[in-house]
């Protein structure tokens, strides 16, 4: 697929001055160099490369185990010493005045069934973390494990020091390396099933009393194709599985990319409800063949559905809720009161996950009250209904002031809980104590969801897109992160200060010496790009943008510009070639001011997977959209805190 490069100038393509190390050609060469260091040759099996590296690592660990006197040296020769710099946590910006300190994207929560002080979380790319004081402090577990993308956790209810962690994330995340197991509270780990499920994403784990394990697996990203998030599909690993020997062997009950499931453990034979990505929802009575759940939309219906999240009432297993996004535009809820025999659409549901239901969508019944239902999604984040079984249930945005969520979540920045929720967990024996995992880490409620408290102190799960180290002070660092904006570390060991909300972006060291800020930023808010820099005014913008209909993935580019500019570019499918166009730059920090800049577009094939942004679609869709622009300065702009945007 082609990659789009834009070169903007005062009506003509600008020439790079001889020897100019900050000109457009130097930027292009630097970018391509960066990509080549990280891109494998076209056609190479990335899963195989990772597997080979892990096999080598496991060989070294085994050698160290067999030679205790030499073991530390063997590993020291292989692994450098690291010091944590954070953020753990990240203090919010003044753009989100009600937010507490945040961490990164969490996908799973597991609570100890007997000791309420103990809990575990799984991070999208930060591994497993444990707290022994109800989330007041955290300790990382298993940093030396073969994968740190963890989207599923479960404790054995009969032996809660036995933990299962499912690696891989099907939610725009990396594929995993199988199932991890610890029998000592997370101190040591094994892979009981070996490489079974390696290359896929384990989406959920459920363990019954007696030790039976239920597990689902879907596809995980392998870092190729559009956005570098094309999925690795290994049909032999996908599906719904069961194990009765501690996870050593598994039997497959259903195939396909299973993203969620529920098990009615009161029924014999067991009744399993599950969702297959891009297909629909299914019922499987153990020992029989699966069938589609009647009344739910499917991928072939109008409107169509991609992913479905399910919730089975623990106190009344006749009740089953299903939450989903329709046509990728709006949320919908369906309710079954007859064990999945029929479903009816819920009237006037909140648009809790909107156009992002494929990314953020979680639904859960209260453990003891079947009339109380919780939803988690984008924008206003967390919702609660206390009459979920009524003909027209009412929902309240419990993570927003006064429970109010404006149309299109226009007041999202007032959130009490970070947008984009992914998991709920209720404290065993104390169902009014609820934990929720979001793109901003973990929150806890002690009153059934009416109020929430962040639990992110020491939880270092932020996902960086890029960082910049102050050339004059290596302890002074800037960075941009997934859904946690841009931030600065200065003066504190692991706590960072947020500067701008939304999705962060890459930072680079300023090309000018003696500036107030040693680093400048390129950041995105999914549909547009904001660039900030200090005086003196720079001449070069090097931006990335994508269609407003697409989720934007960020690659590290260099940037140097004056003021605070917003650039919005609509990506269109173009064949390889040369084009002329006009780009409009708008300054958000002053009275509306815009400038139409003539640009030259050069569309070409990218190296390997280097270009990561652009529009999806058929034909010659764009794989990347990069802007090198010579732009006029609008004015001084605002330092650091430019206008934010919602992820």
Section 215-222 average pLDDT: 86
Residues 6+ apart with CB under 8 A from 210: 158
Section 72-91 average pLDDT: 76
Distances (CA, A) of 312 to 157, 274, 366, 427: 19, 11, 10, 17
pLDDT, greater one: 389 or 641? 389
Task: Place 448 in a pLDDT band, splitting at 50, 70 and 90.
Answer: very high
Give the pair of three-digit tokens for residue 394: 């009412």
Section 163-181 average pLDDT: 91
Distance CA 352, CA 424 (A): 15
Task: Place 368 in a pLDDT band, splitting at 50, 70 and 90.
Answer: very high
| Least confident piece of the model among 24-38, 344-358, 381-395 | 24-38
Section 278-306 average pLDDT: 94
Residue 112 has pLDDT above 90, yes or no: yes
Query: How high is the pLDDT of residue 517?
Result: 60
Residue 181 has pLDDT above 50, yes or no: yes
Give the pair of three-digit tokens for residue 79: 């692994």
Give the pair of three-digit tokens for residue 130: 């444990």
Task: Place 577 in a pLDDT band, splitting at 50, 70 and 90.
Answer: low
Query: How high is the pLDDT of residue 618?
Result: 21
Residue 244 has pLDDT above 90, yes or no: yes
pLDDT, greater one: 10 or 370? 370
| Least confident piece of the model among 94-108, 458-472, 562-576 | 562-576
Query: How high is the pLDDT of residue 346?
Result: 97
Query: How high is the pLDDT of residue 70?
Result: 63
Task: Place 224 in a pLDDT band, splitting at 50, 70 and 90.
Answer: low
Query: How high is the pLDDT of residue 80?
Result: 58
Distances (CA, A) of 616 to 3, 209, 354, 532: 12, 45, 19, 28
Residues 6+ apart with CB under 8 A from 437: 106, 107, 108, 109, 121, 421, 422, 423, 424
Query: How high is the pLDDT of residue 538?
Result: 34
Query: How high is the pLDDT of residue 549?
Result: 32
Query: How high is the pLDDT of residue 71?
Result: 59
pTM of the predicted model as reported, rounded to 2 decimal places: 0.80
Query: How high is the pLDDT of residue 502?
Result: 81
Query: Is residue 48 classed exposed, middle or buried when 0-12, 13-18 and 19+ CB atoms within 10 A define those classes?
Result: exposed
DSSP-derived secondary structure for 189-254: -B-TTTTTTBTEEEEEEEE-TTS-EEEEEEEEE-S-SGGG-PEE--TTT-EEEEESSTTSS-EEEE
Query: How high is the pLDDT of residue 544?
Result: 35
Whether the CA torsion 479, 482, 484, 486 is positive or negative: it is positive
Residue 336 has pLDDT above 70, yes or no: yes
Please tell me whether residue 510 adopts helix, strand or coil conformation: coil
For the chain, the average pLDDT equals 77
pLDDT, greater one: 203 or 32? 203
Task: Place 623 in a pLDDT band, splitting at 50, 70 and 90.
Answer: very low
Residue 141 has pLDDT above 90, yes or no: yes
DSSP code at position 476: E
pLDDT, greater one: 17 or 203? 203
Query: How high is the pLDDT of residue 211?
Result: 94
Residue 246 has pLDDT above 60, yes or no: yes
Residue 582 has pLDDT above 90, yes or no: no
Share of the chain above pLDDT 70, in %: 66
Distance CA 289, CA 487 (A): 52
DSSP-derived secondary structure for 86-138: --SSEEPPTTSTT---B---EEEEEE-SS-TT-EEEEETTTEEEEESSTTSS-
pLDDT, greater one: 354 or 606? 354
Query: How high is the pLDDT of residue 485?
Result: 86
Task: Place 451 in a pLDDT band, splitting at 50, 70 and 90.
Answer: very high
Query: How high is the pLDDT of residue 506?
Result: 67
| β-strand partners of 6 | 601, 627
Residue 395 has pLDDT above 80, yes or no: yes
Query: How high is the pLDDT of residue 111?
Result: 98
Section 48-66 average pLDDT: 75
Chain segment 419-440, per-residue pLDDT in tens:
999 999 999 999 999 999 999 9
| Least confident piece of the model among 104-118, 161-175, 567-581 | 567-581
Q: How many CA atoms, within 13 angstroms, populate the side-chain half-sphere of residue 141? A: 27
Distance of CA 432 to the CA centre of its chain: 27
Section 392-409 average pLDDT: 95
Query: How high is the pLDDT of residue 369?
Result: 98
Section 293-308 average pLDDT: 92
pLDDT, greater one: 73 or 15? 73
Section 581-585 average pLDDT: 48
Task: Place 100 in a pLDDT band, splitting at 50, 70 and 90.
Answer: very high
Containing 38, the helix (H) or strand (E) segment is helix 24-38
Distances (CA, A) of 408 to 133, 307, 353, 405, 553: 37, 21, 10, 8, 22
Query: How high is the pLDDT of residue 97?
Result: 92
Query: How high is the pLDDT of residue 527?
Result: 33
Residue 492 has pLDDT above 90, yes or no: no
Task: Place 501 in a pLDDT band, splitting at 50, 70 and 90.
Answer: confident
Omega before 536 within 30 of 0, i.e. cis: yes
pLDDT, greater one: 235 or 555? 235
Task: Place 174 in a pLDDT band, splitting at 50, 70 and 90.
Answer: confident
Distance of CA 393 to the CA centre of its chain: 30
Task: Place 469 in a pLDDT band, splitting at 50, 70 and 90.
Answer: confident
Query: How high is the pLDDT of residue 189?
Result: 94
What phi and psi, each to the nearest 5 degrees, are found at residue 521? -125, 145
Share of the chain above pLDDT 90, in %: 52
Top-confidence range, 17-31, 228-242, 540-554: 228-242
Query: How high is the pLDDT of residue 38?
Result: 55
Query: How high is the pLDDT of residue 226?
Result: 47
């Amino acid at each position: 697929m082609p990659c789009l490069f834009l070169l903007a100038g005062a009506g003509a393509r600008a020439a790079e001055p001889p020897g100019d190390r900050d000109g457009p050609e130097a930027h292009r060469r630097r970018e391509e160099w960066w990509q080549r260091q990280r891109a494998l040759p076209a056609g190479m099996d990335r899963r195989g490369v990772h597997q080979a590296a892990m096999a080598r690592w496991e060989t070294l660990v085994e050698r160290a185990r067999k030679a205790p006197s030499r073991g530390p040296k063997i590993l020291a020769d292989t692994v450098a010493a690291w010091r944590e710099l954070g953020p753990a946590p990240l203090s919010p910006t003044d753009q989100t005045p009600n937010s507490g300190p945040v961490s990164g994207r969490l996908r799973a929560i597991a609570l100890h069934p007997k000791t309420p002080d103990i809990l575990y979380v799984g991070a999208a790319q930060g591994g497993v973390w444990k707290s022994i004081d109800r989330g007041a402090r955290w300790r990382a577990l298993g940093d030396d494990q073969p994968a740190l993308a963890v989207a599923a956790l479960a404790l054995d209810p009969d032996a809660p020091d036995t933990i299962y962690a499912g690696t891989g994330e099907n939610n725009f995340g990396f594929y995993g390396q199988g199932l991890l197991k610890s029998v000592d509270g997370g101190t040591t780990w094994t892979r009981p099933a070996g490489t079974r499920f390696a290359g896929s994403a384990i989406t959920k784990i459920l363990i019954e009393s007696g030790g039976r394990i239920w597990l689902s697996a879907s596809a995980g990203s392998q870092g190729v194709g559009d956005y570098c998030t094309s999925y690795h599909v290994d049909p032999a690993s996908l599906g719904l599985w069961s194990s009765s020997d501690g996870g050593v062997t598994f039997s497959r009950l259903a195939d396909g990319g299973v993203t969620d499931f529920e098990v009615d453990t009161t029924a014999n034979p067991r009744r399993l409800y599950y969702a297959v990505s891009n297909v629909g929802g299914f019922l499987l009575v153990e020992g029989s063949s699966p069938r589609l759940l009647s009344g739910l939309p499917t991928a072939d219906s109008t409107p169509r559905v991609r992913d479905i999240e399910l919730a089975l009432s623990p106190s009344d297993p006749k009740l089953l809720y299903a939450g989903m996004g329709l046509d990728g535009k709006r949320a919908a809820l369906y309710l079954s009161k007859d064990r999945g025999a029929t479903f009816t659409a819920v009237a006037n549901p909140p648009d809790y996950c909107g156009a992002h239901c494929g990314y953020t969508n979680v639904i859960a019944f209260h453990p003891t009250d079947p009339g109380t239902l919780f939803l988690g999604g984008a924008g206003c984040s967390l919702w609660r209904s206390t009459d979920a079984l009524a003909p027209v249930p009412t929902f309240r945005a419990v993570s927003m002031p006064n429970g109010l969520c404006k149309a299109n979540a226009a007041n999202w920045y007032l959130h009490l809980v970070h947008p984009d929720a992914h998991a709920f967990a209720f404290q065993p024996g104390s169902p009014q104590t609820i934990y929720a995992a979001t793109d901003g880490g973990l929150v806890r409620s002690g009153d059934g969801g009416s109020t929430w408290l962040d639990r992110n102190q020491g939880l270092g799960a932020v996902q960086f897109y890029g960082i910049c180290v102050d050339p004059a002070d290596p302890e002074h660092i800037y960075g941009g992160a997934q859904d946690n904006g841009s931030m600065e570390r200065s003066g504190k060991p692991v706590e960072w200060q947020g500067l701008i909300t939304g999705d962060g972006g890459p930072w680079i060291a300023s090309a000018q010496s003696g500036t107030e800020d040693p680093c400048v930023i390129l950041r995105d808010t999914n549909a547009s790009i904001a660039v900030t820099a200090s005086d003196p005014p720079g001449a070069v913008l090097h931006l990335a943008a994508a269609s407003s209909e697409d989720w934007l993935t960020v690659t590290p580019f260099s940037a140097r510009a004056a003021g605070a500019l917003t650039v919005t570019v609509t990506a269109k499918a173009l064949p390889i070639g040369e084009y002329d166009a006009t780009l409009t730059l708008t300054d958000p920090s002053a009275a509306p001011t815009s400038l139409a800049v003539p640009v030259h577009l050069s569309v070409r094939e990218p190296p390997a997977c280097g270009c990561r942004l652009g529009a999806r679609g058929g034909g010659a869709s764009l794989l990347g959209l990069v802007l090198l622009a010579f732009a006029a300065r609008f004015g001084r702009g605002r330092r650091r805190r430019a206008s934010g945007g919602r992820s």
